[in-house]
Amino acid sequence: MTSKPFEFEFHEWLEKSALPATELVVGIGDDAAVWDWPSGLLVVTADTLCDGVHFRTELQPLEAIGRKALAVSLSDIAAMGARPVAALVSLVLPNSFSLHEAARLTTGLKELADQYKVSLIGGDTNRWPQGLVIGTTVFGRCQNPWRLSGAKAGDLLITTGSFGGSIHGHHLDFTPRCEIANRLAEKFIINAATDVSDSFLIDLQAICEASNVGAVVGRKNFPISEVCLSSYSDQRVALDHALTDGEDFELLLAIAPDVWNAIYQDEFLRGALQRIGEFTSEPGIFLSDDDGSRSELKVAGYEH
């Protein structure tokens, strides 16, 4: 295992210093917080995106930037097995932004909110002499929140979608996996879950460390995106990008074999999910080849 990224170390420090709350079911460190309200569990997540880090206003459409700002938070809600219901949006606009540009920015965001029936209930707007900053806070509801912890040795590693297209623009037009997550949560027990933001390996490591397990990923079964495969002549280079680039926003799930067999009978889910490995009692993350040989993977990804 490599040293933890700054974000994870900072989360651990915050968790230790935060005041305890008896109503808090899931706190700092998971994809979203879960609060026990009298009417059920409230799931809350927040994300902040900055120009030059998560997008480039001089290169990318403002509508796509606004859409991404909400989509990353919807992905966190999906990773908890929750259904999104409402959102707050905070904008720090450059002084140079016109009303037309601000409207374009929120158009993409609102279209995605409408698609997932998420009510935009407020937020805040400020201006300053530097780059665009967008903050989203999304609220959701769930019965049994998925956690990073809970994976067991022998569980199958299941994913949605493919990996490795973020640096070629996929980070702006990805689909939050809310529908898949909601269907799974309604009918099946998911032992552990997260979404891939920092990188496939970093986020898989987060499940492994929280659950005290390791993982083996099958090289043959690993889903590399078509755009990633077509961008690199060497498939080994494409695989490395798929494992470490991040911002794929696909789900990583730990599912017991008998539950996976039941899920595979669901036509919708069968076409949306694939088995790519398994969790083990041996620590570390390994790549397995057809001949049964294994090599340990160096955990790497994008650090903000």
Q: CATH number of the domain at 86, please.
A: 3.30.1330.10
Q: Which token pair is 66?
A: 């606004």
User: How many structural domains compose the chain?
Assistant: 2
Average pLDDT over residues 267-287: 96
Q: Are residues 88 and 177 in the same domain?
A: no
Domain extent at residue 202: 156-296
Q: Are residues 113 and 172 in the same domain?
A: no
Q: What is the pLDDT of residue 217?
A: 98
Q: Are residues 114 and 218 in the same domain?
A: no
Rounded to the nearest angstrom, the gap between the alpha carbon of residue 43 and the centroid of all alpha carbons in its chain is 15
- C-alpha neighbours within 13 Å on the C-beta side of residue 163: 30
* Final residue before a domain boundary, out of 142, 167, 193: 142
**Tokens 């390994």 sit at which residue?**
286
Q: Are residues 93 and 174 in the same domain?
A: no
Strands 133-142 and 40-50: antiparallel
Q: Are residues 94 and 172 in the same domain?
A: no
Q: In what order do the strands lie in the sheet with 192-195?
A: 192-195, 251-255, 156-160, 273-280, 214-218, 285-288, 294-296
CA distance 293 to 55: 40
Domain assignment present for residue 1? The answer is no
CA distance 166 to 208: 24
Q: Are residues 68 and 174 in the same domain?
A: no
Q: Are residues 167 and 289 in the same domain?
A: yes
Q: Are residues 121 and 215 in the same domain?
A: no
Cα–Cα distance list, 118 to 55, 174, 175, 280 (Å): 23, 17, 15, 38
* Final residue before a domain boundary, out of 142, 166, 194: 142
Domain assignment present for residue 304? The answer is no
Q: What is the pLDDT of residue 87?
A: 92
CA distance 113 to 184: 21
Place 6 in a pLDDT band, splitting at 50, 70 and 90.
low
Domain assignment present for residue 37? The answer is yes
CA distance 112 to 67: 6
Domain assignment present for residue 301? The answer is no
Domain assignment present for residue 149? The answer is no
Average pLDDT over residues 70-90: 96
Q: Are residues 138 and 10 in the same domain?
A: yes
229: CATH: 3.90.650.10
Range list of β-strands (E), 102-209? 119-128, 133-142, 156-160, 192-195
Place 149 in a pLDDT band, splitting at 50, 70 and 90.
very high
Q: What is the pLDDT of residue 193?
A: 98
Domain assignment present for residue 302? The answer is no
Q: What is the pLDDT of residue 38?
A: 79
Domain assignment present for residue 220? The answer is yes
Q: Are residues 167 and 287 in the same domain?
A: yes
Work out the number of other CB atoms within 10 angstroms of the CB of residue 284. 15
Domain assignment present for residue 148? The answer is no
Q: What is the pLDDT of residue 297?
A: 96
Q: Are residues 13 and 100 in the same domain?
A: yes
Specify whether the CB–CB gap between 203 and 209 falls below 8 A. no
Is the predicted pLDDT of residue 232 greater than 80, yes or no? yes
Q: Are residues 61 and 115 in the same domain?
A: yes
Specify whether the CB–CB gap between 203 and 195 falls below 8 A. yes
* Final residue before a domain boundary, out of 142, 164, 196: 142
Is the predicted pLDDT of residue 304 greater than 60, yes or no? no
Contacts (Cβ under 8 Å, ≥6 apart) of 252 = 157, 158, 159, 193, 194, 195, 196, 200, 203, 204, 207
